[in-house]
Amino acid sequence: MPAKRMSRELLSRLNTGFKAIFNKAFESASPQWQNIAEKVNSTAKVETYTWLNQIPGMKRWIDERRVKKLERDAYQLRNEKFEDTIAVEREDVEDDNVGTYSMAVKGLAEAAAEHPDELVFKALKEGFESPCYDGQNFFDPDHPVIIDGEEVSVSNMQDGSGPAWFLLATKKSVKPLIYQDRVKAELIVHDDPEKSNTVFMKDQYLYGTRSRGAAGYTFWQLAFGSRAPLTPENFKAARAAMASLVGDQGRPLNIVPNLLVVPPELEGAAEEIVKVKRTDGGKDNAHYGKAEILMTPWLAG
């Protein structure tokens, strides 16, 4: 059988097999971002979230001029492009020696499936320096709220110098973060020497992924960020701060935090606070069961 024909047959089989491996590995992944972020299907380069200023209880009481300003300065998320690529030597295809590349394809799939995790938890970690819909940083001591006709500052953070931990309310109709999905990752193949310069010049077939998306924030009221030590006292203060939140005109927001998000180094401290029924002194633990724990390596470091 001519080498050229054999090569095309092998390529066809290879591509079918690689796509099956990719799809299986992609679907088998267990991303964590869905626990804290709302998925928004994007249809443009930039999505504008004017609705963040219009949810009952969350919005500010404003006049017509302020409405127009908020519409003009509404929270926006710009989609970014992402890629990942591996090269398969053409000689390996010709010699039917491609078995080891299946692990690389699995790696591509896992990385693609986990990429929203990377974006969402990066946004969470950077919430102390990144603005949300009201113009303040997502975790900030000075969120503006109107109470009895006066603007007051409300905090959803504890300052400190330690590893950050987060208390979230994820059972409302909207989660505290956004994962904006414009183009879902899929396996792309470049294997035609007549169309691909890489095949012609480098004697390599390329397999890669491409996606577009972004991560950001919904309501700061649904999240509390802390860099203070994770102690029972600080957990209690964070929980009380969220449960005590009121909207404009003093309306209670009925927020009950339910998820404690921590990096690996704070998992033990988190378990001591909400997973242990009794303290070392034998007393009932008042914080037992008050939150579930989500430990994520994406917050490490």
CA distance 138 to 129: 8
Residue ranges covered by each domain of the chain: 3-299
In whole angstroms, what is the distance from residue 270 CA to residue 23 CA? Answer: 35
∠ Cα 57 38 151 (to 5°): 30
Give the contacts of 31 (CB within 8 A, at least 6 positions apart). Answer: 113, 114, 116, 117
Confidence tier at 1 by pLDDT (50, 70, 90): very low
DSSP string, 92-145: HHHTT--TTHHHHHHHHHHHHHHHHHHHHHHHHHGGGTSB-TTSSBSS-S-EEE
pLDDT at 58: 58
On the question of pLDDT at 102 being above 80, the answer is yes
| Helix or strand holding residue 213 (H, E) | strand 204-217
Supply the pLDDT for residue 6. 45
| pLDDT classification of 274: cutoffs 50, 70, 90 | very high
Q: Which of 218, 177, 181, 176 is nearest to 80 (CA)?
A: 181
> How far is Cα 224 from Cα 253, in angstroms, rounded to an integer?
15
Q: How many CA atoms lie within 13 A of 196 on its CB side?
A: 16
SS3 content of the chain, % helix, strand, coil (to 5): 40, 30, 35
pLDDT, mean over the chain: 88
The model's pLDDT over 38-81, given as tens digits with 9 standing for 90+, comes to 999 999 999 999 888 765 555 554 455 445 455 555 899 999 99
Closest CA to 185 of 31, 295, 38, 36: 31
- On whether the pTM is more than 0.75, the answer is yes
pLDDT digits (tens, 9 = 90+) for 135-174: 999 999 999 887 777 888 999 999 999 999 999 999 999 9
58 CB burial (10 A radius; 0-12, 13-18, 19+): buried
- Distances, alpha carbon 147 to alpha carbons 21, 60, 191, in Å: 57, 10, 64
- Residue 270, token pair as written in the block: 């988190």
Phi, psi of 110 (to 5 degrees): -65, -40
